[in-house]
Amino acid sequence: MDQARWKRIEEIFESLLDYPPQSRPKALKGMCGGDEELEKEILLLLKEDARENSMIDGMAIDYVDLPGVVGQGHVIDSFRVERKIGEGGMSNVYMAQELTGKKRKIALKLLRPGLNTQSILRRFQREHEILARLRHPNIARLIKVGVSEDDQPYIAMEYIEGEPLDTYCDKRSLTIEERIELFQVVCRAVQHAHINKVVHRDLKPANILVEADGTVKLLDFGISKLIDTADEHTKITKTGVHVMTPQYAAPEQVRSLEITVATDIYALGVILYELVAGNPPLALDGLGIFDVQRKICTEEPQLPSEALTRPDYLGESHEARIASQRGTNIAALRKMLQGAMDTICQRALAKSPEDRYKMVEYLMYDLKRYVIGLGMGTSW
C-alpha cells in the first residue's frame, strides 16, 4: 500500500477511537471526504478492532493534551531544539544541541501533542527500558531520559547523520559482497538485541543509517518488545498493524499472532532481498489493507534471481540500472544470485516462523558461506 494512504488510514482510525462506537460511522464519513474505498477499509478495521485478539491490538484510545508546538530554540531540559528531523506514530524527533557536558548534537524524541498519558507513556517508558539494555557500537546510543519543567517527557539519543542502508549502497554502486558485508553488521546488531531479549519489530532501511565513514547504526526501538520471560527464547506480546511497516511485516504481524525473533528475521530477509535484487519480494503499492494482508500471508515471492526481470517494474532499463548499481551486468548478477542466495532469501522469508532461520547467527553463517562460495573471500 502507498505509505501516505496507509498513514491516513491510521490517523483516521486513531481519531475515531476517541468517539463513542455509535457515533463513529457518521464521523468517519466526514473524515473520508467522499472517498468510499477509504471509508470501507476503515470500517473493516473498526469491526476487526471490536473483536477479541484484534488485528489492531493495543491502539491508544484515551487522549489528553500535552505541550504543543516545539520550534527552533525551544529548550527541553538541557537541550536546545534546532530542527525537526522525523516523526512517528507517537513521537516527533528533533535535532538538538546539548547545552551542558559534551555539548554534542543529539536526537531528541518528544511525545506528539494530544497523546494518551497512560498507554502511550507506558510505551515511551518501555522504549527507555529497552534502549537501556542495548550497548552495541552499531545501535544508536541512549544518552538521557527525563521530563522537562513543563512536563514534556523526552528521550535523548545519539544523533546519527547518515543515509538509509539501501540508498547508501545504490549511490555508491556497492558490489554484492560489499552489500552483504554491511548487512552482516546489521545482523550482528539485531543479534545483540535478541540476546538481550529485545525484538525490534520494524527493521527496514530507513531505520538503518550508514554514516559517511561506513559505520552502520540501527535506530528506532520505539515499537520493540521485550521477549516474555516465561519463554525467553521466543515469545513476546502480540502486536498490531499500527506498529509495523507493511513492506517489511511478517505474516504473523499482520495476523496479530505471536511475535518472535523470527519476525525480525523475516524483515532481515526482505532487506537482504532488496539489497541484492533491487526489488521488494512482494509488490504492495496501491493495494487495500486486506489485500496487503492476504498477499503477505499467502503469496510466495519470486526468487531474487527471477525478480530481476519482474514484469511489474520498468523492464530492461530498470534491470540494467539494478545491475549497474551492483557493479556488474544483468547476466552476471542473475548468475550470482541463482542457487545459494535464492535459497537464503527463501528461507528467511518463509511464511511460517518455524521454517525460517532459528537465529540471526544461522543467517549470517549461510551468508558467509555464500560469499566464500562465490570466490570473493571474506574478512568478517
> Last residue of some domain: 109, 141, 158?
158
Task: State the pLDDT at residue 190.
Answer: 96
Report yes or no on 56 lying in a domain: no
What digits encode the pLDDT tens for the residues 327-345? 999 999 999 999 999 999 9
CA dist 332 to 99, 176, 194, 323, 338, Å? 54, 11, 36, 8, 10
43 shares its domain with 87: no
Return the bridge partners of 110, or none. 92, 154
Q: Chain centroid to CA 88: how far?
A: 11
Scan for cell 558467509, then name that residue. Answer: 368
Which residue type occupies 67? P
Contact 37, 288 (CB under 8 A): yes
116 shares its domain with 186: no
This prediction's pTM? 0.75
DSSP for 131-146, written as a single string: HHH---TTBPPEEEEE
The residue among 268, 337, 272 whose CA lies nearest residue 303 is 337
Report yes or no on 306 lying in a domain: yes
What digits encode the pLDDT tens for the residues 183-237? 999 999 999 999 988 899 889 999 999 999 999 999 876 555 555 433 333 334 3
Task: State the pLDDT at residue 66.
Answer: 39
Residues in CB range of 62: below 8 A, 6 or more apart: 116, 118, 119
Report yes or no on 185 lying in a domain: yes
Report yes or no on 378 lying in a domain: no
Which residue type occupies 312? D
The CATH number assigned to the domain holding 146 equals 3.30.200.20
- CA–CA separation, 241 vs 166, rounded Å? 24
246 shares its domain with 354: yes
When computed from its CA atoms, the radius of gyration of the chain, rounded to whole angstroms, is 21
130 shares its domain with 178: no
167 shares its domain with 130: no
User: To which H or E segment does residue 83 belong?
Assistant: strand 79-87
- Annotated catalytic residue, options 170, 202, 220, 264: 202
Q: What's the domain count of the chain?
A: 3
> Last residue of some domain: 158, 191, 212?
158
Task: State the pLDDT at residue 8.
Answer: 80
92 shares its domain with 177: no
Domain carrying residue 363: 162-373
Contact 341, 305 (CB under 8 A): yes
Neighbours of 366 (CB within 10 A): 15
In order along its 380 residues, the chain shows pLDDT tens digits of 555 676 688 788 778 877 888 888 888 988 998 888 888 878 877 775 564 333 333 323 233 333 455 777 888 888 999 999 877 656 788 999 999 888 899 999 887 665 545 556 666 666 666 677 788 999 988 888 777 777 777 888 889 999 999 999 999 999 999 999 999 999 999 999 999 888 998 899 999 999 999 999 998 765 555 554 333 333 343 433 345 789 999 999 988 788 899 999 999 999 999 999 999 999 998 888 778 888 999 999 999 999 876 655 555 677 888 999 999 999 999 999 999 999 999 999 999 999 999 999 999 999 999 999 876 555 44
Residues in CB range of 124: below 8 A, 6 or more apart: 90, 91, 111, 153, 155
> Last residue of some domain: 142, 158, 174?
158
Q: Is 202 a catalytic residue?
A: yes
Contact 39, 26 (CB under 8 A): no
